[in-house]
């Protein structure tokens, strides 16, 4: 059995947890603008995240190593549970955390893959606070499908004029629908896997140790979340208006993915899970209806 008995007493440590395409980059960008240390080296921009991912490369690379050692996609888009953390990577986790604890009075990190290792981090950082970013499964799966289809689209749009016209007006709609049929269900399983891990963690935490939010909540009242971080959790931050980092055009509305999901029990499971997680949001008893 791997020894995880080495524990660090967090100075002020915030773990930002949320499924891919849930707005974690957007919210971490906001926290960074408020003055929170989120990492020395950050993952840059990419398809779907033109302003940057704001992921701490130390944790990102560690998570990719662990996934690779388990013969899983390093993207973390997996519905596999109980991923083994090899001893070598566990020691690297301890080292990274230890250095950050020495350097900073308050710090945070964001990488969606963190959700796959919440049990390990709970043992290493038993006093950490958790900022959970929640987004409904329709929006997340739609966003993943659109993002991944971009590479297919770009390949055809790089061809000659007539081929581009044929692609745009005839082949693209059919290929897009086929792409949704091929991938929507697997992405829904990933959403369920990540959010079940989050729910499992929330059940173990004291209410004062977590805050569940979504980006539309920040659009409506970012000062309330800011006050919680600075008042309740005592993070030393400077207020920055969330609207100044938010870009509506980057947050696509949800498609109805239900027709592309063969196993309809997954939709029932995801809906129930969303409702359960929404109940953890302070002051929001009807989360599913609050977002697009």
pLDDT of residue 215: 84
User: With 0-12 CB in 10 A as exposed, 13-18 as middle and 19+ as buried, what is 208?
Assistant: exposed
pLDDT in tens, 139-157: 999 999 988 887 777 776 6
Determine what percent of the chain falls in helix, strand and coil, rounding each to the nearest 5: 55, 10, 35
Rounded to whole angstroms, the Cα distance separating 131 from 38 reads 13
User: With 0-12 CB in 10 A as exposed, 13-18 as middle and 19+ as buried, what is 240?
Assistant: middle
pLDDT of residue 179: 87
Q: Tokens standing for 236?
A: 């030393």
Cα angle, residue 153 at apex, residues 150 and 156 outer, rounded to 5°: 150
pLDDT of residue 171: 73
Q: How confident is the model at residue 66 (pLDDT cuts 50, 70, 90)?
A: very high
- Region 20-36: what's the mean pLDDT? 93
pLDDT at 289 over 80: no
pLDDT of residue 287: 38
pLDDT in tens, 276-287: 999 999 765 433
Q: Tokens standing for 110?
A: 């964001």
pLDDT in tens, 215-226: 888 888 899 999
Whole-structure pTM value: 0.87
Closest CA to 247 of 3, 4, 8, 25: 25
Q: How confident is the model at residue 63 (pLDDT cuts 50, 70, 90)?
A: very high
Residue pointed to by tokens 């129930």: 272
- 222 alpha carbon, distance to own chain's centre: 19
pLDDT of residue 42: 82
Enumerate the β-bridge partners of residue 132: 17, 212
Rounded to whole angstroms, the Cα distance separating 143 from 140 reads 5
Q: Tokens standing for 146?
A: 């659109």
**Between these two residues, 276 and 173, which has the higher pLDDT value?**
276
**Between these two residues, 248 and 8, which has the higher pLDDT value?**
248
**Between these two residues, 186 and 287, which has the higher pLDDT value?**
186
pLDDT at 13 over 90: yes
Q: What is the mean pLDDT of the chain?
A: 86
Closest CA to 50 of 26, 22, 20, 74: 26
Q: How confident is the model at residue 109 (pLDDT cuts 50, 70, 90)?
A: very high
Residues in the chain: 292
Q: How confident is the model at residue 166 (pLDDT cuts 50, 70, 90)?
A: low
Asked whether 33 and 245 are in contact (CB, 8 A), the reply is yes
pLDDT of residue 46: 47
pLDDT of residue 51: 54
pLDDT at 8 over 70: no
For residue 230, give every residue at least 6 positions away whose Cβ sits within 8 Å of its Cβ, in sequence order, or none.
236, 237
Q: How confident is the model at residue 249 (pLDDT cuts 50, 70, 90)?
A: low
């Amino acid at each position: 059995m791997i020894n995880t008995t080495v524990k660090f007493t967090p100075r002020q440590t915030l773990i930002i947890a949320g499924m891919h395409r849930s707005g974690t980059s957007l919210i971490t960008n906001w926290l960074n603008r408020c003055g929170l240390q989120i990492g020395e080296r950050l993952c840059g921009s990419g398809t779907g995240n033109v302003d940057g991912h704001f992921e701490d490369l130390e944790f990102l690379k560690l998570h990719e190593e662990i996934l690779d050692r388990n013969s899983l996609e390093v993207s973390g888009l997996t519905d596999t549970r109980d991923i083994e953390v090899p001893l070598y990577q566990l020691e690297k986790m301890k080292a990274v955390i230890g250095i950050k604890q020495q350097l900073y009075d308050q710090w945070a990190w964001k990488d969606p893959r963190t959700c796959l290792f919440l049990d390990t981090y709970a043992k290493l950082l038993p006093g950490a606070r958790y900022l959970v970013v929640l987004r409904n499964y329709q929006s997340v799966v739609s966003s993943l499908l659109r993002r991944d289809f971009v590479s297919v689209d770009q390949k055809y749009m790089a061809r000659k004029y007539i081929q581009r016209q044929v692609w745009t007006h005839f082949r693209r709609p059919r290929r897009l629908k086929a792409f949704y049929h091929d991938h929507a269900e697997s992405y829904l399983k990933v959403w369920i896997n990540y959010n079940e891990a989050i729910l499992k963690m929330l059940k173990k935490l004291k209410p004062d140790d977590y805050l569940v939010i979504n980006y539309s909540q920040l659009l409506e009242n970012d000062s309330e979340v800011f006050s919680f971080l600075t008042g309740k959790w005592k993070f030393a931050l400077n207020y920055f208006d969330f609207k100044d980092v938010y870009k509506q055009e980057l947050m696509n509305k949800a498609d109805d993915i239900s027709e592309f999901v063969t196993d309809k029990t997954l939709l029932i499971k995801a809906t129930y899970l969303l409702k359960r997680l929404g109940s953890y949001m302070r002051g929001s008893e009807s989360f599913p209806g609050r977002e697009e």
